[in-house]
Amino acid sequence: MTINDLYRTGIDILKSNNIEDPEFDARCLIEASLNIDTTRFFMIRSQKAEEQIQKIYLNLIERRKNGEPLQYILGKWAFMDNEFFVGEGVLIPRPETEMLVELAKDFLVANRTPVIVDFCSGSGCIAISIAKLFPKARVYAVEKYDEAFSYLKRNITLNGIDNVFAVKGDIFDKNVIGGIIPDLIVSNPPYIISKEIKSLSDEVRNEPVTALDGGNDGYDFYRILADFWLKEYLQNGTAMFVECGETQGDYIKALFSKYCDKCEVLYDFNGLQRIVTAFK
């Protein structure tokens, strides 16, 4: 059996189990099994697949077939051209979340030493990406849960930065960041309605429920962001940018608009409501 035959076998297994993108996933997994990149894969795919490689690859395919997220199997995932450790207990970085980082970049461009707080930081992909764009910034990444906090610390080390400060704490604790006054608050909080979590795909339900569950109506975290962090904590000239679900932007805008001068709902590359911005 050649490497390409093995690859095609993986595709067939994933396809027969209704995996959304079997070709992409199978290629990622065979490259991981061989510890090579895509260019190298196409160069050697006519070579014989050693028995040990076959076992490793088919084990990974089995895990993917059973609904384990590709990102967890690989152990790392890219976000804003940076790599992040991911695995059980932490939310997987998604491309639409990159909008938060791009907006932060535009807002902070004239501020050489900004202070940023990232609530519900998870893997730290938002905080670390902003910190890399602004090496003189001070970025406080706040995460409550042990598993995610562990990934946050590992990713700070992986990305070799010293201007992100991991804070073990809860967004609902009004003293969690002490007397720090941020120029910008960013957050991708849990926003799925509690009763709808069981209807999510098996793959998404592999991710931590603590990173998904936004309460009975999905807005628990946005209320504390509005009623305390925006109303009581942010000062004039500052801003808050949050990610939201595809139908939630207008409601969040109404929450935020009571406490800021300008508030907008922004749409992602699929034309869905994705970000709410609030400026004081």
Q: For residue range 61-78, what is the model confidence (pLDDT) as tens digits? A: 999 999 999 999 999 999
pLDDT at 241: 98
Rounded average pLDDT over 14-39: 96
Tell me the C-alpha distance between 216 and 229, whole Å: 21
The label of the residue with tokens 């639409």 reads 96
Rounded average pLDDT over 218-242: 96
End-to-end, the C-alpha distance of the chain in Å comes to: 63
The percent of residues in the chain predicted with pLDDT above 70, rounded, is 100
pLDDT at 179: 87
Show Cβ contacts of residue 173 under 8 Å, excluding neighbours closer than 6 positions. none
Q: Given the DSSP bridges, would you call strands 239-243 and 262-267 parallel, antiparallel or unpaired?
A: unpaired
The better pLDDT of the pair 203, 148 is held by 148
Q: For residue range 149-188, what is the model confidence (pLDDT) as tens digits? A: 999 999 999 999 999 999 999 999 999 999 899 999 999 9
- What's the mean per-residue pLDDT of the chain? 96
Q: What pTM value is reported for the model? A: 0.94
The torsion defined by the Cα of 245, 251, 255 and 260, in degrees rounded to 10, comes to 80
Q: For residue 265, report the phi and psi dihedrals to the nearest 5 degrees.
A: -105, 125
Q: Is the pLDDT of residue 201 over 90?
A: no
Q: Of 77, 118, 68, 119, whose CA–CA distance to 95 is shortest?
A: 77
pLDDT at 103: 97
Q: Report yes or no: 252 and 219 within 8 Å, Cβ to Cβ.
A: yes
Q: For residue range 91-137, what is the model confidence (pLDDT) as tens digits? A: 999 999 999 999 999 999 999 899 999 999 999 999 999 999 999 99
Q: Report yes or no: 153 and 166 within 8 Å, Cβ to Cβ.
A: yes
Task: Beginning with the edge strand found earlier in the chain, give each strand of the sheet holding 115-119 in spatial order.
Answer: 164-168, 138-143, 115-119, 184-187, 239-243, 273-279, 262-267
pLDDT at 202: 82
Domain segments of the chain as ranges: 3-66, 79-279
What CATH topology corresponds to 79-279?
A: Rossmann fold (3.40.50)
Q: Is the pLDDT of residue 203 over 90?
A: no
Q: Given the DSSP bridges, would you call strands 164-168 and 184-187 parallel, antiparallel or unpaired?
A: unpaired
pLDDT at 180: 92
- Packing angle, helices 22-34 and 51-65, rounded to 10: 140
pLDDT at 104: 97
